[in-house]
């Protein structure tokens, strides 16, 4: 079967074919870019945080009084003893902000004691005590964790700003950023603001920071500092497997039994914190998948409608061809080839639109550049959908009786 007669027929009645081809082009452009963005979001939401998320319970404690440094530290110690004595609890710790919460301390470190070092690396600063390693479930890749005597207590954030610990534990990502040569353990880094030195005594494999949308979310520094004022205090509790729900239910009562004059809020699992952190990505993924499904459905209906219209409009020609000896399979092949030509024309334009849309998304929203492999996959997918959409009308056309079609002239 020659393609030229089919193309000539399409050009003589080109309005419907052009509209469907344009629809296919727009669908391909949106499909490729949307599928790529969805894949990026799914990878982002699925990346490991480094924490024992399944067994962590967190809550915030707000004191009604303003205890001093020593009184505040004693109150925290009493709370932690009560938490660790709860059935099903493995460990507990106190910190100033929760990882993945999109709220916390951003810091910067550098290898030289110079102002405005261009090689300074930004990081999330997590305040941790000697129990934080076991509580968070972090994997210590090298070195050691903090000793109790290394934990520094400060009264409030004003004192915290003027205090610096001489030791740090960093994530592997931050270590590689600061020491590309691989000599991070035992190395000295400087606070980019105060230029005070600190020695890296340990490296954890992974401990994501506060801001999940940051490119530096894997860069985290853990410092043995404890803010004891109660203005911004969170408890993190690690439970035995299967005990999280029970601990989450009973934790408020256990803490209020120690000191009732305070506010306990946001008792939740770490999994909920993660879900909240990625809710925008999840919403975008659902929205894009819905758009993809609607566009594909409309495109399939467009191809089906065009083929059905062509079949009804060409009943005379189909009947004549059948009377001259054309087989049913020849009629089916004719309409499938016609659908393939329209789909291919739309796909060629769609590839150009997809690349243009990707360039615009990169420049406007700083999204990653479209992976070229999505283009052939999208084209093949539309070819298949086009053939499936045209098959029903083609089968119906092949069943037209030659005598009936001739009498309808």
- Measured in degrees and rounded to the nearest 5, phi and psi for residue 158 equal -65, -45
Mean pLDDT of 350-360: 96
Mean pLDDT of 232-248: 95
Residues 6+ apart with CB under 8 A from 73: 153, 226, 228
The confidence score (pLDDT) of residue 201 equals 98
The confidence score (pLDDT) of residue 222 equals 97
Q: What percent of the chain lies above the pLDDT cut of 90?
A: 71
The confidence score (pLDDT) of residue 409 equals 47
Candidate from 53-67, 118-132, 197-211 with smallest mean pLDDT: 53-67
pLDDT at 286 over 70: yes
Burial 86-116 (b: 16+ CB within 10 A, else e): bebbbbbbbbbbbbbbbebbebbbbbeeeee
Residues 309-320 pLDDT 10s: 888 887 777 787
CB distance 296 to 31 below 8 Å:
yes
CB distance 196 to 185 below 8 Å:
no
The confidence score (pLDDT) of residue 230 equals 59
Instruction: State the sign of the Cα–Cα–Cα–Cα dihedral 227, 230, 233, 239.
Output: positive
| Cross-strand bridge partners of residue 127 | 223
Mean pLDDT of 259-270: 92
| Cross-strand bridge partners of residue 244 | none
CB distance 299 to 27 below 8 Å:
yes
Mean pLDDT of 365-382: 94
The confidence score (pLDDT) of residue 398 equals 85
| Cross-strand bridge partners of residue 105 | 125
Taking the C-alpha atoms of 86, 257, 79 and 247 in order, what is their torsion angle to the nearest 10 degrees? 30
Element (H, E) at 86: none
The confidence score (pLDDT) of residue 325 equals 79
In angstroms, the Cα distances linking 146 to 41, 59, 94 are: 35, 23, 14
- Band (pLDDT 50/70/90 cuts) for residue 405 is low
The confidence score (pLDDT) of residue 231 equals 63
Mean pLDDT of 366-383: 94
Residues 6+ apart with CB under 8 A from 381: 31
DSSP codes, 156-176? SHHHHHT---SEEEEEHHHHH
Residues 6+ apart with CB under 8 A from 368: 36, 40, 362
Higher pLDDT, 62 or 220: 220
Mean pLDDT of 167-182: 96
pLDDT at 402 over 80: no
The confidence score (pLDDT) of residue 330 equals 86
pLDDT at 30 over 80: yes
What is the token pair recorded at 220? 């985290």
Q: What percent of the chain lies above the pLDDT cut of 70?
A: 95
Residues 6+ apart with CB under 8 A from 25: 346, 347, 348, 349, 350, 353
- Band (pLDDT 50/70/90 cuts) for residue 227 is confident
CA-only gyration radius of the chain, Å: 32
The confidence score (pLDDT) of residue 287 equals 97
- Measured in degrees and rounded to the nearest 5, phi and psi for residue 87 equal -60, 135
The confidence score (pLDDT) of residue 2 equals 65
Mean pLDDT of 41-65: 93
Q: 18 in helix, strand or coil? A: helix
pLDDT at 31 over 90: yes
The model's pTM is 0.85
Mean pLDDT of 213-221: 95
């Amino acid at each position: 079967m020659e393609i030229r007669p089919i193309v000539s027929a399409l050009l003589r009645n080109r309005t419907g074919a052009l509209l469907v081809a344009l629809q296919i082009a727009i669908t391909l452009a949106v499909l490729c870019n949307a599928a790529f963005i969805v894949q990026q979001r799914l990878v982002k939401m699925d990346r490991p945080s480094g924490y024992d998320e399944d067994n962590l319970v967190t809550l915030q404690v707000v004191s009604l009084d303003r205890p001093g440094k020593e009184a505040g530290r004693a109150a925290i110690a009493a709370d932690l003893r009560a938490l660790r004595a709860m059935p099903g609890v493995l460990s507990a710790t106190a910190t100033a902000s929760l990882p993945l919460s999109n709220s916390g301390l951003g810091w910067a470190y550098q290898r030289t004691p110079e102002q405005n070092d261009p090689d300074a690396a930004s990081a999330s600063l997590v305040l941790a005590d000697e129990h934080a390693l076991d509580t968070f479930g972090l994997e210590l890749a090298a070195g050691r964790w903090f000793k109790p005597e290394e934990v520094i207590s400060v009264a409030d954030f004003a004192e915290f700003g003027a205090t610096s610990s001489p030791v740090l534990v960093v994530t592997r990502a931050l270590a590689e950023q600061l020491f590309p040569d691989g000599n991070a353990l035992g190395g000295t880094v400087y606070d980019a603001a105060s230029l005070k030195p600190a020695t890296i005594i340990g490296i954890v494999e992974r401990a994501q920071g506060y801001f999940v949308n940051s490119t530096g979310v894997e860069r985290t520094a853990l410092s043995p500092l404890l803010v004891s004022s109660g203005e911004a205090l969170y408890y993190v509790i690690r439970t035995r497997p299967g005990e999280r729900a029970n601990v989450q239910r009973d934790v408020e009562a256990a803490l209020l039994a120690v000191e009732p004059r305070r506010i306990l809020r946001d008792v939740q699992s770490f999994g909920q914190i993660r879900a909240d952190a990625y809710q925008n990505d999840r919403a975008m993924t659902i929205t894009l998948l819905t758009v993809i499904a609607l566009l594909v459905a409309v495109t399939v209906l467009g191809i089906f409608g065009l083929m059905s219209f062509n079949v009804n409009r060409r009943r005379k020609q189909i009947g004549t061809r059948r009377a001259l000896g054309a087989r049913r399979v020849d009629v089916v092949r004719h309409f499938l080839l016609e659908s393939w030509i329209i789909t291919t024309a739309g796909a060629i334009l769609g590839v150009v639109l997809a690349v243009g849309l990707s360039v615009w998304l990169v420049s406007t929203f700083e999204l990653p550049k479209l992976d070229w492999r999505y283009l052939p996959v999208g084209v093949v997918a539309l070819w298949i959908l086009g053939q499936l959409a045209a098959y029903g009308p083609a089968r119906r056309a092949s069943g037209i009786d030659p005598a009936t079609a001739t009498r309808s002239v």
